[in-house]
Amino acid sequence: MKRVALEGKVLSENDRIAAELRQAFRAHRILCLNFISSPGSGKTSLLERTLEGFAAGTRVALLTGDIQTDNDARRLARFGFPVRQVTTAGACHLDARMVEQHLKDWDLAALDLLLIENVGNLVCPTSYDLGEEAKIVVLSVTEGEDKPLKYPGIFRKAELMILNKTDLLPYVPFRVEAARENARSIHPEIEILELSCQTGAGLDGWRRWLEERMEKGSELVPA
């Protein structure tokens, strides 16, 4: 009982900070997206391909979470946009306080888009609101098409599912239609995009989705 009460208190405090972050993001018309996936799904590669498509001067910044190392931050920093590594030192997720602390001396008025790469995990990050406008779940074809059924929480909360590494479909026993059906059995309205960061197939559709959400983001009002 004590553990349940403590978890409830932690999540309640997280939700309070997340609400403040969301209000700040909306006040500055910032679209904040939270990327969640298993390790190795290709989140960082997706963010690399996303950043390379932005013109210099685009008002975008990134927070990338990992249990250890700043490898992802160094990979993403080469595109010239502000990037910060959030090292959780063992925690299997980012929380709202981590985001708040790493944004403290950033000028939110200078941003239109904030991309958050969560720790590789389909369970823990699902419970923690980071003040984002939308969660995006990344599923690669090297995983099972039953992942939405095994981890329904994130697929229920995500607005978009990105099916990544489609260039590997000829080599793996992955059934795309089954993955789609499983995801929509959990969340009938979830949007689904298929792409390959390796070949670039499907990236235009992802960029259109992002542009449309950024346009909507400019119309956001404080929570």
Q: Is 168 exposed, middle or buried (0-12, 13-18, 19+ CB in 10 A)?
A: middle
CA distances, 103 to each of 38, 107, 158 (Å): 25, 8, 23
Report yes or no on 55 lying in a domain.
yes
Name every residue whose Cβ is closer than 8 Å to that of residue 155 and which is 6 or more positions away in sequence. Answer: 137, 147, 148, 161, 183, 186, 187, 190
- CATH number, domain containing residue 134: 3.40.50.300
Secondary structure element (H or E) that encloses residue 83, with its range: strand 83-87
pLDDT of residue 111: 97
pLDDT of residue 91: 85
pLDDT of residue 75: 94
Alpha-carbon distance 131 to 26, whole Å? 10
Count: domains in the chain: 1
Identity at 132, one-letter amino acid code: E
What stretches of 66-119 show up as alpha helix (H) in DSSP?
71-77, 96-102
Report yes or no on 222 lying in a domain.
no
Report yes or no on 193 lying in a domain.
yes
CA distances, 155 to each of 70, 86, 140, 171 (Å): 28, 24, 14, 25
What does the pLDDT profile of the chain (223 residues) look like in tens digits?
555 454 566 678 999 999 999 999 999 999 999 999 999 999 999 999 999 999 999 999 999 998 888 888 999 999 999 999 999 887 899 999 999 999 999 999 999 999 999 999 999 999 999 999 999 999 999 999 999 999 999 999 999 999 999 999 999 999 999 999 999 999 999 999 999 999 999 999 999 999 999 987 666 666 5
Report yes or no on 98 lying in a domain.
yes
The dihedral formed by the CA atoms of 66, 41, 159 and 33, expressed in degrees to the nearest 10: 40
pLDDT of residue 172: 97
pLDDT of residue 119: 94
Alpha-carbon distance 89 to 97, whole Å? 15
Report yes or no on 31 lying in a domain.
yes
The gap between the terminal CA atoms of the chain, to the nearest Å, is 33
Report yes or no on 223 lying in a domain.
no
Range of the domain at 153: 2-217
Alpha-carbon distance 8 to 27, whole Å? 28
Report yes or no on 28 lying in a domain.
yes
The dihedral formed by the CA atoms of 110, 63, 22 and 17, expressed in degrees to the nearest 10: -130
Classify the C-alpha dihedral 134-135-140-143 as positive or negative. Answer: negative
Identity at 158, one-letter amino acid code: A
Report yes or no on 148 lying in a domain.
yes
